[in-house]
Amino acid sequence: MPLPHQPSRNASAADFIRALSTSARTARTGGQTIGEFLDQMGDGNAWLMALILTLPFIQPLPTGPMATFGGLAFAGMGWRLIRGDESVWLPMRIRSTRPGAATWNAFSGFGCWLLRILGRVSRTQRMVWLVEAVGHRGAAWLILIGGLLVAVPFLVVPLQNSLPALIIFFACAGRLQRDGAMYLLALLSLVVTLVYFALVTWVLFFAAEQSWMWLRGLLKA
Protein backbone atom coordinates (compact mmCIF):
# COMPACT_ATOMS: atom_id res chain seq x y z
CA MET A 1 0.00 0.00 0.00
CA PRO A 2 1.51 3.39 -0.94
CA LEU A 3 2.54 5.67 1.85
CA PRO A 4 0.36 8.78 2.28
CA HIS A 5 1.67 12.13 1.15
CA GLN A 6 5.32 11.59 0.40
CA PRO A 7 7.04 14.92 -0.32
CA SER A 8 8.65 15.08 -3.73
CA ARG A 9 12.30 15.66 -4.50
CA ASN A 10 11.57 19.40 -4.59
CA ALA A 11 9.48 19.35 -1.40
CA SER A 12 8.99 22.60 0.48
CA ALA A 13 8.64 23.28 4.19
CA ALA A 14 4.84 23.17 3.83
CA ASP A 15 5.07 19.68 2.29
CA PHE A 16 7.12 18.44 5.23
CA ILE A 17 4.68 19.97 7.73
CA ARG A 18 1.91 17.84 6.21
CA ALA A 19 4.16 14.77 6.21
CA LEU A 20 5.13 15.30 9.87
CA SER A 21 1.48 15.64 10.84
CA THR A 22 0.73 12.38 9.03
CA SER A 23 3.65 10.79 10.87
CA ALA A 24 2.18 11.78 14.24
CA ARG A 25 -1.20 10.26 13.32
CA THR A 26 0.50 7.06 12.18
CA ALA A 27 2.38 6.83 15.48
CA ARG A 28 -0.84 7.17 17.47
CA THR A 29 -2.47 4.32 15.56
CA GLY A 30 0.24 1.77 16.13
CA GLY A 31 3.68 3.27 15.87
CA GLN A 32 6.29 3.23 13.15
CA THR A 33 9.98 2.58 12.82
CA ILE A 34 12.54 5.29 12.15
CA GLY A 35 13.03 3.82 8.68
CA GLU A 36 9.30 4.00 7.95
CA PHE A 37 9.27 7.59 9.12
CA LEU A 38 12.13 8.55 6.79
CA ASP A 39 10.44 6.73 3.91
CA GLN A 40 7.25 8.62 4.63
CA MET A 41 9.17 11.91 4.54
CA GLY A 42 10.17 10.98 1.00
CA ASP A 43 13.19 11.93 -1.08
CA GLY A 44 14.70 15.12 0.28
CA ASN A 45 14.36 14.24 3.97
CA ALA A 46 18.07 14.89 4.52
CA TRP A 47 17.48 18.64 4.22
CA LEU A 48 14.79 18.52 6.90
CA MET A 49 16.85 16.35 9.25
CA ALA A 50 19.94 18.54 8.84
CA LEU A 51 17.85 21.65 9.55
CA ILE A 52 16.47 20.18 12.79
CA LEU A 53 19.81 18.74 13.95
CA THR A 54 21.59 22.10 13.69
CA LEU A 55 19.62 23.50 16.63
CA PRO A 56 21.74 21.98 19.46
CA PHE A 57 24.83 23.56 17.88
CA ILE A 58 23.43 27.06 17.28
CA GLN A 59 23.52 27.93 20.98
CA PRO A 60 26.66 30.00 21.77
CA LEU A 61 28.46 27.61 24.13
CA PRO A 62 30.84 24.95 22.74
CA THR A 63 29.45 21.41 22.78
CA GLY A 64 32.79 19.58 23.11
CA PRO A 65 33.16 16.10 21.58
CA MET A 66 29.51 16.21 20.49
CA ALA A 67 30.49 18.92 17.99
CA THR A 68 33.20 16.74 16.47
CA PHE A 69 30.90 13.78 15.89
CA GLY A 70 27.99 15.97 14.87
CA GLY A 71 30.11 18.01 12.48
CA LEU A 72 31.44 14.89 10.77
CA ALA A 73 27.87 13.60 10.47
CA PHE A 74 26.84 16.85 8.79
CA ALA A 75 29.83 16.61 6.47
CA GLY A 76 28.79 13.06 5.55
CA MET A 77 25.26 14.25 4.82
CA GLY A 78 26.66 17.04 2.67
CA TRP A 79 28.77 14.59 0.68
CA ARG A 80 25.78 12.35 0.03
CA LEU A 81 23.76 15.38 -1.06
CA ILE A 82 26.53 16.43 -3.44
CA ARG A 83 26.35 12.98 -5.01
CA GLY A 84 22.60 13.43 -5.50
CA ASP A 85 21.28 11.26 -2.64
CA GLU A 86 18.86 13.48 -0.68
CA SER A 87 17.73 10.85 1.82
CA VAL A 88 19.20 10.19 5.25
CA TRP A 89 21.22 6.96 5.48
CA LEU A 90 21.05 5.00 8.72
CA PRO A 91 22.18 1.48 9.67
CA MET A 92 19.37 -1.08 9.50
CA ARG A 93 19.57 -1.56 13.26
CA ILE A 94 18.64 2.08 13.81
CA ARG A 95 16.09 2.15 10.97
CA SER A 96 14.22 -0.74 12.58
CA THR A 97 13.97 1.01 15.97
CA ARG A 98 10.36 1.76 16.92
CA PRO A 99 10.09 4.76 19.29
CA GLY A 100 6.95 5.27 21.30
CA ALA A 101 4.01 7.43 20.25
CA ALA A 102 4.97 10.14 22.75
CA THR A 103 8.41 10.45 21.15
CA TRP A 104 6.95 10.70 17.65
CA ASN A 105 4.35 13.24 18.76
CA ALA A 106 7.01 15.39 20.41
CA PHE A 107 9.33 15.19 17.40
CA SER A 108 6.58 15.83 14.86
CA GLY A 109 5.21 18.72 16.92
CA PHE A 110 8.62 20.29 17.23
CA GLY A 111 9.36 19.80 13.53
CA CYS A 112 6.06 21.41 12.52
CA TRP A 113 6.69 24.32 14.89
CA LEU A 114 10.17 24.89 13.48
CA LEU A 115 8.98 24.77 9.88
CA ARG A 116 6.12 27.17 10.61
CA ILE A 117 8.59 29.61 12.16
CA LEU A 118 10.75 29.17 9.07
CA GLY A 119 7.74 29.92 6.88
CA ARG A 120 7.24 33.22 8.71
CA VAL A 121 10.82 34.46 8.40
CA SER A 122 11.40 33.09 4.90
CA ARG A 123 9.53 33.37 1.62
CA THR A 124 9.32 30.82 -1.16
CA GLN A 125 10.63 31.68 -4.61
CA ARG A 126 12.52 34.75 -3.35
CA MET A 127 15.67 35.78 -5.27
CA VAL A 128 15.18 32.78 -7.54
CA TRP A 129 18.24 33.78 -9.59
CA LEU A 130 20.42 33.04 -6.54
CA VAL A 131 18.55 29.79 -5.87
CA GLU A 132 19.31 28.68 -9.42
CA ALA A 133 22.93 29.89 -9.19
CA VAL A 134 23.63 28.01 -5.97
CA GLY A 135 21.54 24.95 -6.84
CA HIS A 136 21.21 21.75 -4.81
CA ARG A 137 24.88 20.92 -5.18
CA GLY A 138 26.03 24.35 -4.00
CA ALA A 139 23.79 24.12 -0.95
CA ALA A 140 25.17 20.62 -0.29
CA TRP A 141 28.72 21.97 -0.41
CA LEU A 142 27.73 24.58 2.18
CA ILE A 143 26.49 21.77 4.45
CA LEU A 144 29.70 19.78 3.99
CA ILE A 145 31.92 22.81 4.69
CA GLY A 146 29.75 23.87 7.63
CA GLY A 147 29.95 20.37 9.07
CA LEU A 148 33.75 20.32 8.86
CA LEU A 149 33.90 23.74 10.54
CA VAL A 150 31.57 22.54 13.33
CA ALA A 151 33.97 19.62 13.87
CA VAL A 152 37.09 21.84 14.17
CA PRO A 153 38.52 21.07 17.64
CA PHE A 154 39.20 24.58 18.94
CA LEU A 155 39.70 25.29 22.61
CA VAL A 156 36.63 26.49 24.51
CA VAL A 157 35.72 29.50 22.38
CA PRO A 158 32.23 31.04 22.27
CA LEU A 159 30.37 30.73 18.95
CA GLN A 160 32.80 28.11 17.61
CA ASN A 161 29.90 25.76 16.86
CA SER A 162 27.04 28.21 16.38
CA LEU A 163 28.53 30.19 13.49
CA PRO A 164 29.23 27.17 11.23
CA ALA A 165 25.91 25.59 12.29
CA LEU A 166 24.18 28.69 10.91
CA ILE A 167 25.76 27.93 7.52
CA ILE A 168 24.00 24.56 7.52
CA PHE A 169 20.73 25.96 8.89
CA PHE A 170 20.43 28.70 6.27
CA ALA A 171 21.50 26.38 3.44
CA CYS A 172 18.76 23.90 4.40
CA ALA A 173 16.22 26.70 4.81
CA GLY A 174 17.10 28.05 1.38
CA ARG A 175 16.67 24.60 -0.17
CA LEU A 176 13.35 23.87 1.54
CA GLN A 177 11.87 27.29 0.78
CA ARG A 178 13.68 27.99 -2.50
CA ASP A 179 14.62 31.26 -0.86
CA GLY A 180 17.73 32.94 -2.24
CA ALA A 181 17.90 35.26 0.78
CA MET A 182 18.54 32.20 2.98
CA TYR A 183 21.36 31.13 0.66
CA LEU A 184 22.76 34.64 0.93
CA LEU A 185 22.70 34.36 4.74
CA ALA A 186 24.43 30.97 4.47
CA LEU A 187 27.22 32.48 2.37
CA LEU A 188 27.49 35.42 4.76
CA SER A 189 27.68 33.02 7.71
CA LEU A 190 30.50 31.16 5.94
CA VAL A 191 32.50 34.38 5.50
CA VAL A 192 31.89 35.44 9.11
CA THR A 193 32.89 31.97 10.36
CA LEU A 194 36.15 31.93 8.41
CA VAL A 195 37.04 35.45 9.59
CA TYR A 196 36.18 34.55 13.18
CA PHE A 197 38.22 31.33 13.09
CA ALA A 198 41.18 33.16 11.53
CA LEU A 199 40.98 35.81 14.25
CA VAL A 200 40.76 33.20 17.03
CA THR A 201 43.74 31.31 15.54
CA TRP A 202 45.79 34.52 15.39
CA VAL A 203 44.92 35.39 19.00
CA LEU A 204 45.91 31.90 20.17
CA PHE A 205 49.23 32.02 18.35
CA PHE A 206 49.89 35.56 19.59
CA ALA A 207 49.11 34.56 23.19
CA ALA A 208 51.34 31.48 22.88
CA GLU A 209 54.19 33.56 21.45
CA GLN A 210 53.91 36.16 24.20
CA SER A 211 53.79 33.45 26.85
CA TRP A 212 56.91 31.81 25.41
CA MET A 213 58.78 35.14 25.33
CA TRP A 214 57.77 35.84 28.92
CA LEU A 215 58.91 32.34 29.98
CA ARG A 216 62.26 32.74 28.22
CA GLY A 217 62.79 36.11 29.91
CA LEU A 218 61.93 34.59 33.27
CA LEU A 219 64.40 31.72 32.77
CA LYS A 220 67.20 34.10 31.78
CA ALA A 221 66.65 36.32 34.79
Which amino acid type is present at position 178?
Answer: R
At residue 3, the pLDDT reads: 43
75: closest CA among 9, 149, 137, 138? 149
Alpha-carbon dihedral 83, 107, 2, 10, rounded to 10 degrees:
-40
At residue 221, the pLDDT reads: 60
Per-residue pLDDT of the chain (221 residues; tens, 9 = 90+): 344 444 444 556 677 777 777 777 776 666 678 887 787 777 778 888 888 889 888 888 777 788 888 899 999 999 999 988 888 888 888 888 877 777 777 777 788 888 888 888 887 778 888 888 888 889 999 999 999 999 887 767 888 889 999 999 999 999 888 888 999 999 999 999 999 999 988 888 887 777 777 777 677 76
At residue 117, the pLDDT reads: 83
At residue 74, the pLDDT reads: 93
Q: Is the dihedral of CA 14, 42, 5, 102 positive or negative?
A: negative
Distance CA 14, CA 200 (A): 40
Query: Taking CA 45 as the corner, what is the angle to CA 163 and CA 122, rounded to the nearest 5 degrees?
Result: 55
At residue 27, the pLDDT reads: 65
Distance CA 74, CA 157 (A): 21
Evaluate whether 217 touches 163 at the Cβ level (below 8 Å).
no
Q: What is the pTM of this model?
A: 0.82
At residue 93, the pLDDT reads: 84
At residue 194, the pLDDT reads: 94
